[in-house]
Structure 1
Amino acid sequence: MRVENCFFCGRPAWPSKGITFMRNDGKSFRFCRSKCHKNFKMKRNPRKLKWTKAYRKKAGKEMVVDSTLQFAARRNVPVRYDRELWQKTLKAMERISEIRARRERAFYKKRMAGKRAREVAAARKLVAENEHLLPRLRGSEKRRLAELAAERGLDVEELEREELAAKRAKKTGKAFGGEVRRLRVRADGGIEEVSEAVGGHMHEDVDEDDDDEDDNDDDEMDTD
C-alpha cells in the first residue's frame, strides 16, 4: 500500500481518499482534499500559502536537509519477496520515525530559542513609545514606593509590579460583587457563619430584627 503526498499542500493522501486529477498529457496530480484541488485549479502558488508544507520549508519552519528525509524518496525498484527483509524493513521504519521525531523536536527548540526575549523587547519598545498613555502615579504614592524600595533594597519598578500582582490576587473575580458573611441561627440553638455572594440587584438584605421576631413567633408556637 503506497501513501502518496498531496501535490499542493504536501499532506499524505491515503488510498481511496482524496482526489486524483488527470491532465491531457497523461500526468496525474493527487490531492488530499477538495481545498487543495480548488486552489490548484485557481493556479495559486503553494509557496505563498501559510498552510502548505512548501511555505513552511521556504520559511525555515521545517527540516529540509536531513538524512532521514532521504528514506521517503520513491524507489520503483522491484525486489523479490523475502520475509527477513520485510521484518528488517518494518523495524527500520519504526527506528527512522523515532530518529526523525527527535531531530524535529531539536530543530523546533533551536528555531524557537530567543523568542521570549524578542517578545519582551518588542513589548518594552511598545511601552516606551506609548508611555504617555500609561496611568500616572501621585507624588505621595511615588515617594511611598521609593521609601519602601529603599528599605527592601529593591527597584521601584519591581515593587510596582509586586503591588499590582497583589491587587490582582485580592480580586474575587466574580461577576456580581464580592462576598458577605452572615450569622445564622440553627434549629438546635447554635450560631454558624455563612458566606453569601452579593450580586447587585439580586442581593436582598435581611434585617436582624425580622429574624428575632420570627424566632419569638416560633417560641410562642412551641409553648402553645
Structure 2
Amino acid sequence: MRVLVADDERLLADMIAEGLRRVSMAVDVCYDGDGALERIAVNRYDVAVLDRDMPGRTGDEVCRSLAGSDAGTRVLMLTAAAGIRDRVEGLGLGADDYLTKPFAFAELVARVQALGRRSAPAVPPVLEQYDMALDVARHTVTRDGRPVNLSPKEFAVLHVLMRANGRVVSAEELLEQAWDEFADPFTNAVRVTVMTLRKKLGQPAIIHTVPRAGYRIGGPE
C-alpha cells in the first residue's frame, strides 16, 4: 500500500510516516499542500493522510482535488478541531475518514489500513492464495498454517503480488507500490527482495519470474 502523509508539523509527519513504514506501507511525506498536490500529480496513492489546517494550500484544497479526480485515493483528514461541525465539513469535502489530534497511533494505522482495503479495486482484509494467507491488519503471513517471518519490505512486496491475484507485476510497479518516491529505478532492490522472499516462503516455489515482464503468484510449476 502506498500512502501520502502531508502535515506542516514536520515532527508529527515524520513520526506518522515512520510508523506506517514499520507495518510495510510505502510512504511519501511532505509538509504543505503544494507539495501534496505535486506528488499526487505524478504518483498514485491508495491513501492520503492530510492535515486539514496546513498553511498556504490547505488540506481542504488537497482533499477537494482528490475527490474531483479519478485517482481512487482514500483520504484520512487530521485536525485539531474536534467539533461535530468541523468533522461534517471535512467529510463534506470528500474525506473518507476523520481523526482529531491528539490521536492514538494504533487507531491511525487501523484507519489507514481500512481505507486501503476500500481503494479501487477493493481487497479483503485477509488475502488467501493456494496454501498462503496474508493478514494486513495483524501483519502476519502463514504458509500451510505455519507462520513466515518477513521484513516490512518483504511483506509489502508479497502484499502487492497477492493483490494482483495471479496477474504479472512488473519490477517498476513493485517499486511504485512498495517503495517510496526516493527509490532508485535502476536499483536491484526488487530482485533481491523477491529472492529473499522466495527463500522464506519455502518450497514448492509460489513466486514465479516471467522473463522480461515481472513476477506473479502461482501454483507450483
Give the TM-score range, shorter chain. under 0.3
The normalised TM-score by structure 2 is: 0.24
Computing the radius of gyration over CA atoms, which structure comes out larger, 1 or 2? 1
More strand by share: 2
The normalised TM-score by structure 1 is: 0.24
